């Protein structure tokens, strides 16, 4: 397939690009190249003749129309988004602009292009909108996990903007007939993740023996999915999913934030022993963030049954693979630290 993919230099997008190119697909990679984008994450696929990077903003409607007209894709995978909750609290406007307005304009460009198609090309066209489990709100301990029928209840500017984009995508199918498929996933982790996100930030701070800031008592729970497993699932959704349907993608690997941080400490202690002692000494409890959702967890039964997919990595294995990658690729994240933050502490992300 020839796939127009947005956000392909981001963390999840680049994983999809790598897997898609290696599977024989052709990728038109639309990326604005924000602070979180990395061409290095494309690895050898970035120079592949079946990959074309188009540096453009999904909020530029003329550029989106031009991309569809020039490349005539068979499908769209829409991953481009602002995605960091803490950033959305500090500055929600960028999230509304990119996640809501950007999705609207991309849908309009896709609708215009879809109207020109006929025959098999029209019948097989798909618009796959990739979203998050955070649109469903928060779970308490003992509540059943999110599934495709869970009502929406977003709690942060980020999740509200993604919920709006989900509704737009579905509306464009029901109103205009655009063949839309939606998938919602839980927290991803793995190589090439921007260092302000929870797991890479804790890994890097543990390596550097800096404080490990944990919100509240660290009991907030997340379901963790290895990014390569998610990329495989997304391509399954695109090629096997049914327009109008939703697929919840998860790994059945829920962990409390404090347990994630302690596991990171143990791995880094093993691989890089410190004369100062175990790195759990670096854990620092800080004031909880506004509206911090207690628990996210996805029930992936539908995806497992209908797409014949399941996550290959359990959390312990995936975390060890991830930790080793950050230890082996220090030059990449040191470069980001120096370039993006000019010596300031990364991000503001906490557990």
Active site residue 134: yes
- Tens of pLDDT, residue by residue over 156-214, are 999 999 999 999 999 999 999 999 999 999 999 999 999 989 999 999 999 999 999 99
Residue 271 included in any domain: no
Residue 167 included in any domain: yes
Residue 303 included in any domain: yes
Q: Is the pLDDT of residue 341 over 60?
A: no
Q: Is the pLDDT of residue 346 over 50?
A: no
Count the domains in the chain. 1
Active site residue 306: no
- pLDDT in the model for residue 290: 83
- Tens of pLDDT, residue by residue over 177-188, are 999 999 999 999
Q: What confidence tier does 351 reach under pLDDT thresholds 50, 70, 90? A: low
Q: Report the candidate in 41, 46, 33, 26 with the shortest Cα–Cα distance to residue 7.
A: 33
Residue 113 included in any domain: yes
Q: Is the pLDDT of residue 283 over 90?
A: yes
- Tens of pLDDT, residue by residue over 13-52, are 999 999 999 999 999 999 999 999 999 999 999 999 999 9
Task: Decide which of 343 and 127 is more confident.
Answer: 127
**What is the domain range of residue 138?**
2-193+225-251+295-312
Q: Is the pLDDT of residue 344 over 60?
A: no
Residue 147 included in any domain: yes
Rg (CA), the chain: 20
- pLDDT in the model for residue 340: 64
- pLDDT in the model for residue 293: 87
pTM tops 0.85, yes or no? yes
- pLDDT in the model for residue 32: 97
Q: Alpha helices of the chain — where are they, by DSSP H?
A: 11-22, 61-71, 85-90, 92-95, 102-114, 119-124, 157-176, 198-208, 227-240, 257-271, 301-306, 315-328, 330-341
Q: Spot the catalytic one: 134, 228, 229, 232.
A: 134
Mean pLDDT of the chain: 95
Residue 211 included in any domain: no
Q: Spot the catalytic one: 82, 113, 158, 196.
A: 158
Give me the mean pLDDT over the 294-308 stretch.
Answer: 97
- Tens of pLDDT, residue by residue over 112-134, are 999 999 999 999 999 999 999 99
User: Measured between alpha carbons, how far is 307 from 300 in angstroms, rounded to an integer?
Assistant: 10
What CATH number is associated with residue 87?
3.40.50.720
- pLDDT in the model for residue 48: 96
- pLDDT in the model for residue 291: 78
Q: Is the pLDDT of residue 286 over 50?
A: yes
Q: Report the candidate in 107, 113, 115 with the shortest Cα–Cα distance to residue 180.
A: 107
Residue 10 included in any domain: yes
- Give the strands of the sheet with 221-226, arranged side by side: 187-189, 221-226, 254-256
Q: Spot the catalytic one: 31, 133, 166, 229.
A: 133
- Residue found by looking up tokens 């497992």 in the block: 304
User: Measured between alpha carbons, how far is 259 from 272 in angstroms, rounded to an integer?
Assistant: 20
Residue 103 included in any domain: yes
Active site residue 133: yes
């Amino acid at each position: 397939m020839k796939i127009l993919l947005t956000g392909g230099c981001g963390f999840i997008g680049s994983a999809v690009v790598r897997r898609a190119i290696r599977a024989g697909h052709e990728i038109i990679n639309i990326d604005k190249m924000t602070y979180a984008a990395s061409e290095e994450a494309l690895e050898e696929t970035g120079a592949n003749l079946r990959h074309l990077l188009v540096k453009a903003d999904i909020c530029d409607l003329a550029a989106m129309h031009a991309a569809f007209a020039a490349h005539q894709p068979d499908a769209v995978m829409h991953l481009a988004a602002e995605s960091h909750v803490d950033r959305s609290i500090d500055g929600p406007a960028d999230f509304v602009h990119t996640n809501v307005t950007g999705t609207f304009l991309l849908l309009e460009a896709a609708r215009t292009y879809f109207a020109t198609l006929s025959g098999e090309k029209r019948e097989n066209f798909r618009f796959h909108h990739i979203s998050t489990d955070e649109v469903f709100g928060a779970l308490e301990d003992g509540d059943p996990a999110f599934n495709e029928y869970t009502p929406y209840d977003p709690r942060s500017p980020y999740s509200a903007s993604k919920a709006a984009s989900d509704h737009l995508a579905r509306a464009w199918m029901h109103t205009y007939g655009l063949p839309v498929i939606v998938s919602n996933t839980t927290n991803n982790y793995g190589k090439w993740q921007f260092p302000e996100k929870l797991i890479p930030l804790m890994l890097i701070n543990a390596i550097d023996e800096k404080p490990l800031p944990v919100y509240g008592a660290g009991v907030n729970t997340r379901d963790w999915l290895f990014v390569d497993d998610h990329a495989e699932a997304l391509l399954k959704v695109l090629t096997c999913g049914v327009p109008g349907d939703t697929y919840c993608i998860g790994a059945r690997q829920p962990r409390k934030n404090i347990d994630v941080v302690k596991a990171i400490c143990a791995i880094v202690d093993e691989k890089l022993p410190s004369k100062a002692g175990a790195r759990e000494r670096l854990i620092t409890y800080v004031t909880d963030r506004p509206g911090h959702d207690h628990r996210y967890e996805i029930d992936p039964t539908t995806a497992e049954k209908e797409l014949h997919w399941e996550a290959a990595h359990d959390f312990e294995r995936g975390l060890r693979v991830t930790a080793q990658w950050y230890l082996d690729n220090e030059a990449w994240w040191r470069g980001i630290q120096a370039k993006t933050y000019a010596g300031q502490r990364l991000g503001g992300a906490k557990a």
